[in-house]
Chain A
Amino acid sequence: MNQNAVRELLHRMADDALIIAHRHSEWTGLGPLLEEDIAFSSIAQDKLGHAQALYQLLHEFGEPDPDTNAFMRNAEQFYSCHFVELPNGGYDVSLIRHFLYDTAEYLRYAALAQSSWEKIALLARKVAGEIKYHLYHARTWVIQLGAQGNEESAARMQSALNEMWPYALGMFEPGNTDAELAADGIYPGESEIQRRWLELVKETLDKAGLVIPSSADPVYGGRKGYHTDYLQPLLDEMTEVYRIDPSAEW
């Protein structure tokens, strides 16, 4: 097993999960409905749990412990895509991002459940139910607001989709070691996941009456350490308390 290739994969997934968990959690207390506020906050907690489990695997490869890895790096040391860094905007944008991101997560973890690396396969099988609910939650809302709401809700969902689409494609920025991961049976690689993602995303968007933007250039760079101006302020806020005393027991 190529350890560097696996570490790169784990970092992409862990950093994405950590950053989107923080963005989702910014809705806590501000959600559009009490019930939805609680559901979305729970999903954010789950994402944080997935990030922690992935950082734990990295720790076993000799990286710092999960807290240090999550809270003591600067923006340029992150592998997250720009898609998860963007500010929340309206709830329409957050829901579309949640839907596009979790469709990808669902496929990534489904592929990893079959991985030749047993440790990641075990983790993928353990969280399968949580991810299934995240996708179920996202799909239900997208179809509700796209096809079963009113003109305004459909227009807002379409506009959010148009806005997010190029960034969503950035989730699949090709990794340097994709071919090796695929050859070892560890992970099929980003272009294969993107192909499956387009199919699955389209299935729901068709039901929601929403249209995939016809042409869009994917926004790459995050996997190489180039980030939007939004990431560092997010990290500063997220780690504010932790950095006061990194050795504190919680």
Chain B
Amino acid sequence: MATIISLDPRITRAQLPEEEPLTHEPKPEMDQFQTFEVFHQQKSGARHVHVGCVHAPNAELALLMAKEQYGRRGQTYNLWVVCTADILTMHSEDADIFATTPDKKYRDVAAYMVRNKVEAFKKEQQGGTEA
């Protein structure tokens, strides 16, 4: 398990090849605010959906900023903000854990041909009343 430092490309930077000498001064660490992930809820009771992130010095200001960045259009009931560094996630090289999951059709609802059975049952019932 690993921790996301940030989903923002300005913070998690591209891995440049080491042998090429840098042509510029590297940016100092934390020269900008940390990021907070924003979760948007459209209606009361609906699930919160991840919509992006904001920069902020603390959670309170993150929520204040999230209101305008992600609640300025359409319908909003509530928002959550979560410090990106507080999110526990998997390493991308462990994605093979899930590699064979799509093959396990028997775990999908679509794999059960219930509709066919229901229709066959209805037909049988109708046949019964007609007789």
1/0 contact trace for B47-61 toward A, CB 8 Å? 000000011111011
By a CB distance below 8 angstroms, the chain A residues around B58 are: 144, 148
Given A35-B54, A144-B57, answer yes or no on A136-B68 (Cβ-Cβ < 8 Å): no
Contact between A35 and B68 (Cβ–Cβ < 8 Å)?
yes
* Interface residues in A185-210 (C-beta closer than 8 Å to B): none
Task: Tell me if A's interface is mostly helix, strand, loop or mixed.
Answer: helix
How distant is B88 from chain A, measured CB to nearest CB, in Å? 25
What's the Cα separation between A131 and B65 when bound, in Å? 16
Q: Which of B55, B60, B69 contacts A140 (CB 8 A)?
A: B60
- Residue ID in chain B nearest A43 by CB atoms: B68
Does any Cβ of B come within 8 Å of A241's Cβ?
Answer: no
Q: Known contacts A140-B60, A144-B57: does B65 contact A35 (CB below 8 Å)?
A: yes
The chain B residue sitting closest to A149, CB to CB, is B57
Q: Which of B54, B61, B72 has the most CB of A within 10 A?
A: B61
Please state if A137 and B55 are interface contacts (CB–CB under 8 Å): no
Contact between chains at B64 and A136 (CB < 8 Å) = yes
Report how far A136 CA is from B65 CA in the complex, Å: 11
- Scan residues 12-48 of chain A and give those whose CB is less than 8 A from a CB of chain B: 33-36, 38-39, 42
Known: A34-B55, A140-B60. A133 touches B67 (CB 8 A): yes
Q: How far is the CB of A137 from chain B (nearest CB, A)?
A: 6
Known: A33-B55, A34-B55. A39 touches B67 (CB 8 A): yes
Pairwise interchain contact B55-A39, C-beta atoms closer than 8 A? no
A residues near B33, Cβ cutoff 8 Å:
33
Which residues of B are interface residues toward A (Cβ below 8 A)?
A: 33, 54-58, 60-61, 64-65, 67-69, 72
Chain A contact residues, CB within 8 Å of chain B: 33-36, 38-39, 42, 133, 136-137, 140-141, 144, 148
